[in-house]
Amino acid sequence: MECVAANGRISNLPSEIFNLKSFSYLLISAALLMALAGCEVERRRSDAELGLTPQEASGRHIYDNYCDRCHAPYSSRGRQGPSMKGIFKKQYLPMSGMPANDERVTDIIKMGRNKMPAYSQVLDQQQVNDLLAYMHTL
């Protein structure tokens, strides 16, 4: 079917509309597939499902508020900082090479290191202890 456009040109309007719709659907489908392909979406497990003690659950809440934005807790992928997955199962901390123990990690939390800010003015010692308890579960 030929149609005369306002500018006087003759075009096959229905086939052009069909092609535009098909192209739009193709673009949307491709965008969705790309978004899903790089996604490691997993339902967040509750504290009870993880078997966390009250201290570890408190530490998880602190981790969510202060650490999660830069340090992935359960993924081996780092964000701006290294992942904390299995951090205390390693002999040395990934970036500094310092021993992976409570004392060194406490120092880093309180004093900061490189791009990581210090939290000594933000977290009290009990919160740091709770955070460490949670990090031992990662």
- 8 A C-beta contact, residue 2 and residue 12: yes
pTM of structure? 0.66
A 10 A CB-CB count for 84 gives 22
* Domain-located, residue 109: yes
Instruction: Please indicate, yes or no, whether residues 58 and 89 belong to a single structural domain of this protein.
Output: yes
**Same domain flag for 101 and 128:** yes
**Other CB atoms within 10 Å distance of the CB of residue 94:** 13
Q: What is the CATH number of the domain that holds 70?
A: 1.10.760.10
Same domain, 53 and 107: yes
SS3 labels along 17-46: HHHHHHHHHHHHHHHHHHHHHCCCCCCCCC
- pLDDT value of position 94: 79
The count of other CB atoms within 10 Å of the CB of residue 10 is 9
**Res. 26: pLDDT tops 60:** no
The answer to whether residue 42 sits within a structural domain is: no
Query: Residue ranges of the alpha helices (H) in the chain?
Result: 13-37, 47-50, 54-66, 102-111, 125-135
Residues 15 and 68 in one domain: no
Do 11 and 61 belong together in one domain?
no
User: What pLDDT is attached to residue 6?
Assistant: 56
Residues 7 and 55 in one domain: no
Q: How confident is the model at residue 100 (pLDDT cuts 50, 70, 90)?
A: very high
What is the model's pLDDT at position 121? 95
Rounded to whole angstroms, the Cα distance separating 83 from 72 reads 5
Q: Tell me: the pLDDT tens digits for 58-90?
A: 999 999 999 988 888 877 665 778 888 899 999
Tell me how far apart the alpha carbons of residues 77 and 122 are, in angstroms, rounded to a whole number.
27
Instruction: Quote the domain boundaries for residue 18.
Output: 3-37
Token pair belonging to 7: 């500018």
| pLDDT for 29 beyond 70 | no
Spatial CA neighbour of 123 closest among 73, 85, 66, 83: 66
Domain membership of residue 43 (yes or no) is no
Name residues whose C-beta falls within 8 Å of residue 111's C-beta, 6 or more positions apart in sequence. Answer: 118, 120
